[in-house]
Structure 1
């Protein structure tokens, strides 16, 4: 069984990278943020983990859970 690996979409120069939490190397480097989001989402779904989307400034602007969310919506 694979270990949970939260995925981060981060700026990398003029490109965007998909990087697993704690990894020093990027899983993928692509030219648009949307391409990186699509790749990161699929990995996060496969690993039942989280996906964090960073803006150009490096700050997290969005987070999505594809696993067991500790704080699911009520209702």
Structure 2
């Protein structure tokens, strides 16, 4: 199986926004709130049909959780 693209959702203090960045640190999309980013399949739609792995970070920068889109691409050995 090919490696999934990696994304990170984190807070950018300078811009006062939650930003979804790809592996190259390019901003894919900005959100006013973290809730806006993670509700109703917004992350999945933003990542696109190719899917990807999204690290969701807390306000302090620590990792809160990691999600894989589509869910069928989730590694079998992962606990979640």
User: Do they fold alike, i.e. is TM over 0.5?
Assistant: yes
Instruction: Specify the alignment match of 2:61 in structure 1.
Output: 58
Deviations 1:17-64 (CA, angstroms, capped at 9, x unpaired): 01112x232111221112233543223352222121100011110111
Tell me which protein shows more strand as a share of its residues: 2
Q: How many residues are matched?
A: 71
Instruction: Specify the alignment match of 2:34 in structure 1.
Output: 33
| Structure-2 separation of matches of 1:35 and 1:43 | 12
TM-score (norm 2): 0.66
1:1-75 superposed matches below 5 A: 4-13=4-13, 14-21=16-23, 23-38=24-39, 39-44=42-47, 46-67=49-70, 68-71=73-76
Moved over 4 A (4+): none
CA RMSD, aligned part only?
2.6
Q: Which runs of 5+ in 2 are unaligned?
A: none
TM-score (norm 1): 0.70
